[in-house]
Structure 1
Amino acid sequence: MRGLSLLSLGLALVLRATGAPAGDQPSVALTPLPGKVRVEIGGRLFTEYLYSGQPRPVLYPVMGPSGIAMTRRFPLERGPAGESRDHSHHRSLWFAHGSMNGEDFWTEGGHSGRIVQEDFRIVAPDVLETSNVWRCPHGDGVCRDRRRLRFQVFPEGWLIDCEIVLLAAERDLVLGDTKEGGMAIRVADGLRLGSQGAGGRGVNSEGATGPDLWGKRARWVDYYGEIEGRMVGVAVFDHPASFRHPTWWHAREYGLLAANPFGMADFGAGPAHAGDATVPKGQSLRLRYGFFFHNGTPEVARVEAVYRRWAAP
């Protein structure tokens, strides 16, 4: 991989951002390390992009502006006593889908596919680009993708802007209608919604809350609650240019929050296969989402205003 070749040459590549969306904000630093890229803001850990030793690339850990872990530790490492251990394929923050030409890339195991990074580049002080191939259990490639991740500092919080272009490189690509997929985060247990025995709350851009978030269309969804005595939250944004905006949400009270524009039948938005999407050979499909980590409630963090600023042309 190009990233590994950079390391083998002993190149210590650390790029620092000189700008921010507004005000005098701390700088962003991207540092390539074996199997991962470390992201720091003002010298503090924000996240690490892990591309080796995982069934798919993931971002872990993810620390909010207060230094609080915003995603569940399991299964990437041993978490605190009592941490939930369901759904071992929910790895912090990731993108996957459960039906890619009939192959499952959402779950894990011998019958599931893998997303393998082929290359990465740091193309700007706060931007990481990667190239990946989606491989069936028997090794054949189903499709490819290109990803662009930008790590941003806003006065109200920290944001990961994720743009993914799925490429039907060798054959038509059919993304099947299933709720099992999307741009996803498994939040820390303290952000799970109230019916799960936690104090978390959820709200979307249209005013729906709690269990009514699941399967609904919205521009954004925010999970927030108290962790370590601090009110913190994460809002997941769907960009207006993303496929089938505003997307549907696989938003579970136990802590999964996924933007999923393909699960229409599962979400009750159409008949069987209504959400299928075919990408003809040689063409592509573009998705773009944001993860905004903030302190305070959505109102205090001005989530709607941040969304509009992020989504503006």
Structure 2
Amino acid sequence: MNRIFKKLCPLLLVGVIGLLAGSEDKRFAISENKAGKRIDITIDGKPFTSYIYPENLMKPVLYPLRTAQGTFITRGWPLAPRSGERVDHPHHVGMWFNYGNVNGLDFWNNSNVIPAERKSGYGAIKHFSVDKMKTYSDRAELDVTMYWQKPDGSNLLREETKYIFSGKGERRDIELITKLTALKEEVSFKDNKEGLLGIRLTRELEHPSDKPEKFTDASGKATDVAKMNNEAVTGKYSSSEGREGDNVWGTRGKWMNLNGKIGNEPVSLVILDNSKNVGYPTYWHARGYGLFAANPLGQKEFSKGKDVLDYKLAAGQSVVFRYKVLINSGSNLTDDQVNAEFTAFSRTK
């Protein structure tokens, strides 16, 4: 009997380990809805975010983003409006990646409200394929291909993006690795403030606004941003270089941390740049009204002409951008904590 038990023990142990590993694998799930043009990512059985590409959007986006507690950190409008939200900049949806001047075409400001007679000046990014969907014990990965298209539908750039979704405890993270390849012609990313990785925030994470403002895009179109009720509005930016509040706009930094509170839930939203990126350290196109964006390519605008990049890709040439987004719930991340995350991220290949 003892001999049989000794033989069975290793098998039982392997079985237990297998069950534990299986339960870990189930922490992350990805499900594709081709008809709905969406891919849903869940962690611990709770919705985290979705990769969506409906026809009424001019680029695929991650929408919405949630904390570990399920709280929305992105604005609902225009897809799913919530009471008290701003209704400006209809092209600000969830989290996206695009640019304001690519061979003279504006990919950033394009939306379904642009009139037909002006569409010739705008480009669109179209989802092409899902190349990988896989879950592991500590993450989920989604690889997709998109094409940056001219108004006539011809392809200018191929985009291949890997999203890595992870989360433990009160943290949720998104790492993205985006490869852009110029196709049949040289592609110019002329210096422009509208770019590159953007997130549009829920009202509670905006800065309190004490006056109405007007913002003008690269084509000269102005958007009014009204003064609003500041009740429960708690957001505050802080950068790796010690800048705070609205003073972070147009400055360079290795990372940006937005601390705030949604109801009784303290929240930190962080974007980490990567030392391997073109234009590192990035300039920050971060506005108090709720636009949180990293733009390493629009250097002339932010530096008042001191720095000029006008980045170009020759036909067939590629460039890779890496970013990581941290969403922390239950407490605000300190500078030391974010610095440690930045150092670890910069070491990744």
TM-score bucket of the superposed structures, by smaller chain: 0.7 to 0.9
Unaligned runs of 5+ in 2: 1-20, 211-229
Aligned to 1:176: 190
Moved more, 107-116 or 144-153: 107-116
Q: For residue 153 of structure 1, what is the aligned residue in structure 2? A: 167
Q: Deviations over 1:119-157 (max 9, x none)?
A: 112253111111111112222222111111010124561
1:119 corresponds in structure 2 to: 129
1:189 Cα deviation from its structure 2 partner:
0.9
Amino acid of the residue matched to residue 302 of structure 2?
A: F
- The partner residue of 1:129 within 143, 146, 149 is 143
**CA distance 1:301–1:65, shift in 2 (3 Å):** farther
With over 3 angstroms needed to count, the CA separation of the structure-2 counterparts of 1:47 and 1:171, relative to structure 1, is same
Equivalence map 1:1-313=2 (5 Å): 27-34=27-34, 35-53=37-55, 54-80=57-83, 82-108=84-110, 109=114, 110=116, 111=119, 112-125=122-135, 126-155=140-169, 157-195=171-209, 197=230, 198-268=233-303, 270-271=305-306, 274-295=308-329, 296-299=331-334, 302-313=337-348
Name the CA distance, whole Å, in 2 between partners of 1:264 and 1:311: 22
SS in structure 1 of the partner of residue 209 of structure 2:
helix
Which one is further off, 220-229 or 97-106? Answer: 220-229
Deviations 1:80-118 (A, max 9, x none): 2x2111111101110111111111101122422110011
Q: Which has the larger radius of gyration?
A: 2
In the alignment, is the contact (CA less than 8 A) between 1:168 and 1:279 conserved in 2?
yes
1:14 is matched with none
- In structure 2, how many angstroms separate the alpha carbons of the residues matched to 1:292 and 1:25? 21
TM-score by length of 1: 0.87
Secondary structure in structure 2 of the residue aligned to 1:239: coil
Question: Shift of the alpha carbon at 1:309?
Answer: 2.5
- Give a deviation string over 1:231-278, Cα, whole Å, max 9, x none: 112101111222221111101011101110111111025358x12101
8 Å CA contact 1:225, 1:233 repeated in 2? yes
Deviation at 1:28, TM superposition (A): 1.5
Residues 157 and 180, structure 2, Cα contact 8 Å, conserved in 1: yes
1:287-306, Cα deviation, whole Å (9 max, x unpaired): 11111101221229932222
Distance 1:26 1:159 in 2: 17
CA deviation after TM superposition for structure 1 residue 307, in Å:
2.5
- With normalisation by structure 2, the TM-score equals 0.78
Query: What amino acid is aligned across from residue 61 of structure 1 in structure 2?
Result: P
Helix, strand or coil for the counterpart of 1:302?
Answer: helix
Structure 1 unaligned segments of length 5 or more: list them: 1-17
8 Å CA contact 2:68–2:170 kept in 1: the answer is no
Cα 1:253–1:102 shift into 2, 3 Å: same
Q: Sequence identity, in percent?
A: 31
More helix by share: 2
What is the rounded CA distance, in whole Å, between the counterparts of 1:33 and 1:146 in structure 2? Answer: 20
| Aligned residues of 1:25 and 1:153 also touching (Cα < 8 A) | no
Residue-by-residue CA offset, 1:189-240 (whole Å, 9 max, x unaligned): 1111133632211101121101111111111111121112211121011112
Q: Distance in 2 between matches of 1:156 and 1:284?
A: 36
Corresponding residue pairs, total:
290
Q: Is the 8 A contact 2:98 2:107 kept in 1?
A: yes
Aligned partner of 1:206: which letter? E
Deviation at 1:187, TM superposition (A): 1.0
Distance 2:295 2:289 in 1: 17
Please say if residues 127 and 145 of structure 2, whose CA atoms lie closer than 8 Å, have aligned partners that are also in contact.
yes
Q: Which amino acid aligns with 2:186?
A: D
Structure 2: distance between partners of 1:312 and 1:235 = 18
| Contact 1:294–1:301, Cα closer than 8 Å, also in 2 | no
Paired AA for residue 124 in structure 2: R
Amino acid at match of 1:275: L
CA–CA separation in structure 1 for the residues paired with 2:134 and 2:41 = 13
